[in-house]
Structure 1
Amino acid sequence: MVTPSPSGDREKTVSKLSSKLRQELKVRAAELSIDIQDATSEGITAWLAGLACSPVDTTGATPFSTWLPTGQWQELKDACSARGIPFVQGLAQSIQLWLDTHPSPRHRPVSGIAQRKIVINQKGGVGKTAVAAGIAEALAEDGMSVLLVDYDPQGHLSDQLGVDQILPGTDSLVLHMCGEGKGDLRDLVVTIEEPRFGKRLHVLPACPDGFLLDARIAVSRMRNKEAALERALQPLEKDFDAIVVDCPPSLGMATDAAIYYGRRRQGEREGISGMVIPVLAEDSSATAYTMLADQIESLRDDLRLDIEYLGLVVNLYDSRRGFVATSSLKEWRELGDPKVLAVIGDLKEQREAVRMHRPLLAYAPHCDQSENMRQIAKEIS
Structure 2
Amino acid sequence: MASPSSPGDREKVVSKLPGWLRQEVKVRTAQLGVEIQVAVEHGLRDWCALASAPDAVDTTGADSFSTWLPPGQWEEFKAVAGQRQVSLTQGLARAMRLWLDKNPAPSVKRPEVPRRIVVCNQKGGVGKTAVTAGVGEAMAEGADVLHPVRVSKHFAAILPSEEGSDPLTLEDLPGLGLRVLLVDFDPQGHLTKQLGHDLLPMDGDSLTRHMAGEGMRDLGNLVVPIAEDRFGDRLHLLPSCNDAFLLDVKLASVRAREAALERALAAVEEGFDVIIVDCPPSLGLSMDAASYYGRRRPNEAPGQSGVLIVVQAEDSSADAYELLTSQIEDLRADLSLDLDYLGIVVNHYDARRGYIATSSLQAWMDIKDPRVVGVIGDLKEQKEAVRVKRPLLAYSPRCDQSVGMRALAREIS
The two structures have a TM-score, normalised by structure 2, of 0.70
The equivalent of 1:71 in structure 2 is 60
Name the count of aligned residue pairs: 306
1:180–1:103: structure 2 CA closer, same or farther, 3 Å change rule? farther
Q: Aligned to 2:357, what secondary structure does the other structure show?
A: helix
For 1:197-212, list aligned pairs within 5 A. Answer: 197-212=231-246
Give the gaps of 5 or more residues in structure 2: 2-14, 41-55, 64-103, 142-175
For 1:85-234, list aligned pairs within 5 A. Answer: 105-109=107-111, 112-141=112-141, 142-218=176-252, 220=253, 222-234=254-266
Question: What per-residue deviation string (whole Å, max 9, x for no partner) do you get for residues 41-69 of structure 1?
Answer: xxxxxxxxxxxxxxxxxxxxxxxxxx962
Q: Does 1:368 align with 2:400?
A: yes
Return the alpha-carbon distance in structure 2 between the equivalents of residues 320 and 251 of structure 1.
32
Give the AA of the match of 2:245.
F
Return the alpha-carbon distance in structure 2 between the equivalents of residues 21 and 254 of structure 1.
47
For 1:231-242, list aligned pairs within 5 A. Answer: 231-242=263-274
**Contact 2:18-2:60 within 8 A present in 1 as well:** no
Return the alpha-carbon distance in structure 2 between the equivalents of residues 194 and 229 of structure 1.
28
Give the AA of the match of 1:206.
S
The equivalent of 1:308 in structure 2 is 340
Return the alpha-carbon distance in structure 2 between the equivalents of residues 24 and 72 of structure 1.
20
Shift of 1:14: 5.5
Q: Aligned to 1:342, what secondary structure does the other structure show?
A: strand
Q: Does 1:256 align with 2:288?
A: yes
Which of 346, 351, 354 pairs up with 1:319? 351
Shift of 1:73: 3.4
Shift of 1:185: 0.4
1:15–1:200: structure 2 CA closer, same or farther, 3 Å change rule? closer
The equivalent of 1:352 in structure 2 is 384
Shift of 1:376: 1.2
Return the alpha-carbon distance in structure 1 between the equivalents of residues 304 and 289 of structure 2.
18
Return the alpha-carbon distance in structure 1 between the equivalents of residues 387 and 352 of structure 2.
25
Question: What per-residue deviation string (whole Å, max 9, x for no partner) do you get for residues 124-183 of structure 1?
Answer: 010000000011111111211111000001000010000111001210000000000000
Return the alpha-carbon distance in structure 2 between the equivalents of residues 103 and 162 of structure 1.
33
The equivalent of 2:101 in structure 1 is none
Shift of 1:107: 3.4
Question: What per-residue deviation string (whole Å, max 9, x for no partner) do you get for residues 2-34 of structure 1?
Answer: xxxxxxxxxx62599xxx998654132789xxx
**Contact 2:349-2:377 within 8 A present in 1 as well:** yes
Return the alpha-carbon distance in structure 2 between the equivalents of residues 346 and 359 of structure 1.
16
Give the AA of the match of 1:300.
R
Question: What per-residue deviation string (whole Å, max 9, x for no partner) do you get for residues 167-225 of structure 1?
Answer: 0121000000000000000000000111100110000000000001001111x2x3211
Shift of 1:268: 0.3
Q: Does 1:247 align with 2:279?
A: yes
Return the alpha-carbon distance in structure 2 between the equivalents of residues 200 and 308 of structure 1.
26
Shift of 1:72: 3.6
Question: What per-residue deviation string (whole Å, max 9, x for no partner) do you get for residues 339-365 of structure 1?
Answer: 111111101111111111111111111
**Contact 2:28-2:105 within 8 A present in 1 as well:** no
Q: Does 1:333 align with 2:345?
A: no
Return the alpha-carbon distance in structure 2 between the equivalents of residues 212 and 72 of structure 1.
62
1:283–1:104: structure 2 CA closer, same or farther, 3 Å change rule? farther
Give the AA of the match of 2:308.
V
Shift of 1:278: 0.7
Give the gaps of 5 or more residues in structure 1: 2-11, 38-66, 75-101
**Contact 1:118-1:258 within 8 A present in 2 as well:** yes
Q: Aligned to 1:238, what secondary structure does the other structure show?
A: helix
The two structures have a TM-score, normalised by structure 1, of 0.76
Shift of 1:103: 9.3
**Contact 1:344-1:372 within 8 A present in 2 as well:** yes
**Contact 2:140-2:235 within 8 A present in 1 as well:** yes
Q: Aligned to 1:235, what secondary structure does the other structure show?
A: coil
Question: What per-residue deviation string (whole Å, max 9, x for no partner) do you get for residues 305-348 of structure 1?
Answer: 00111000100011111111111100100001111111111011
**Contact 1:13-1:68 within 8 A present in 2 as well:** no
Greater Cα radius of gyration, structure 1 or 2: 2
The equivalent of 1:293 in structure 2 is 325
**Contact 2:117-2:276 within 8 A present in 1 as well:** yes
The equivalent of 1:55 in structure 2 is none
Residue identity over aligned pairs, in percent, reads 57
1:264–1:284: structure 2 CA closer, same or farther, 3 Å change rule? same
**Contact 2:218-2:267 within 8 A present in 1 as well:** no
Return the alpha-carbon distance in structure 2 between the equivalents of residues 208 and 262 of structure 1.
23
Return the alpha-carbon distance in structure 2 between the equivalents of residues 297 and 30 of structure 1.
40
